[in-house]
């Protein structure tokens, strides 16, 4: 079985696994809401009972002595345990998706390497290569699937879908789903893909740009400003 076939086989089972985890998350959430509702009612009743006892003189108004009942405290501890289970399930679901994305990155990296070797061999033998030229990298680069602050000075951003660019880096069309919550970048207002450059203006509204959209072929040396920030900077100098 080839790497791509193995990846496709693993990908087919992913929706079923995620569906089970999401169903369990929903059940835990319902249980948590019910326990929190009961605990809230219990605590409100106990607070009211304490107030009556203080007013009648049966309870000393000492904050070091007054406390909720063991039942109320147990409900709160149980709520925390359920919340921890929900977080653990969410992390597991994220890791499952992230693992599949990393596998796809490995395939794209291997595919790019094969294309590069094919072009080199074609140049040596004088036979035209079957794949188009391209010098931008595919996939998400080296970020490993976990994003951070956009302004981090790295040249490669996370991508879950190959968007249209001046040059198709692999020579093939990728039809990958895009997370509607994934942030967009650049003048093209697309998700991150390939190699990207960050504007050095800390107040830049866009921050990250695709190489092809700003006419770059390699990471610029020194400080780099997008056309918007560069124009604003020049106007300020002219005043």
Q: Annotated binding site: which residue ranges?
A: 186, 188, 199, 204, 210, 213, 226, 229
| Cα three-residue angle 91-95-99, rounded to 5 degrees | 180
Confidence (pTM): 0.43
Instruction: List Cβ neighbours of 76 (8 Å cut-off, separation of 6 or more).
Output: 39
User: Any idea which fold 196-237 has?
Assistant: Herpes Virus-1 (3.30.40)
Q: Is 197 helix (H, G, I), strand (E, B) or coil?
A: strand
Q: What single string gives the DSSP state of each residue in 98-127?
A: HHHHHHHHHHHHHHHHHHHHHHHHHHHHTP
pLDDT values of the chain reduced to their tens digit, one per residue, 239 residues: 566 677 777 778 888 888 898 899 899 999 999 999 999 999 999 888 888 888 887 777 665 566 788 888 898 999 999 999 989 989 998 988 888 888 788 888 888 888 888 888 888 876 555 544 443 434 444 343 333 334 333 333 333 333 444 344 433 344 445 566 678 888 988 888 788 899 999 889 899 998 989 988 888 888 899 999 988 888 887 65
Structure tokens of 91?
Answer: 């992390």
Q: Annotated binding site for Zn(2+): which residue ranges?
A: 186, 188, 199, 204, 210, 213, 226, 229
């Amino acid at each position: 079985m080839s790497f791509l076939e193995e990846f496709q086989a693993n990908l087919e089972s992913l929706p079923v696994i995620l569906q089970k985890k999401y169903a369990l998350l929903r059940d835990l959430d319902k249980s948590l809401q019910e326990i929190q509702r009961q605990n809230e009612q219990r605590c409100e009743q106990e607070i009211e009972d304490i107030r009556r006892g203080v007013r009648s003189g049966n309870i000393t108004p000492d904050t070091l002595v007054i406390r909720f009942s063991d039942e109320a405290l147990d409900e709160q501890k149980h709520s925390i345990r359920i919340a921890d289970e929900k977080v653990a399930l969410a992390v597991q679901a994220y890791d499952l998706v992230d693992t599949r994305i990393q596998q796809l990155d490995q395939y794209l990296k291997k595919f790019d390497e094969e294309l590069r070797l094919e072009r080199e061999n074609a140049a040596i033998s004088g036979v035209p290569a079957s794949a188009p030229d391209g010098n931008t990298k595919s996939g998400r680069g080296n970020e490993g699937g976990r994003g951070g602050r956009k302004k981090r000075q790295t040249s490669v951003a996370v991508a879950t879908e190959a968007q249209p660019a001046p040059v198709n880096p692999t020579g093939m069309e990728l039809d990958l789903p895009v997370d509607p919550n994934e942030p967009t970048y650049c003048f093209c207002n697309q998700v991150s893909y390939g190699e990207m450059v960050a504007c050095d203006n800390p107040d830049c509204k866009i921050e990250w740009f695709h190489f092809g959209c700003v006419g770059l072929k390699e990471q610029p040396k020194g400080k780099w400003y997008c056309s918007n920030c560069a124009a604003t900077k020049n106007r300020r100098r002219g005043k």
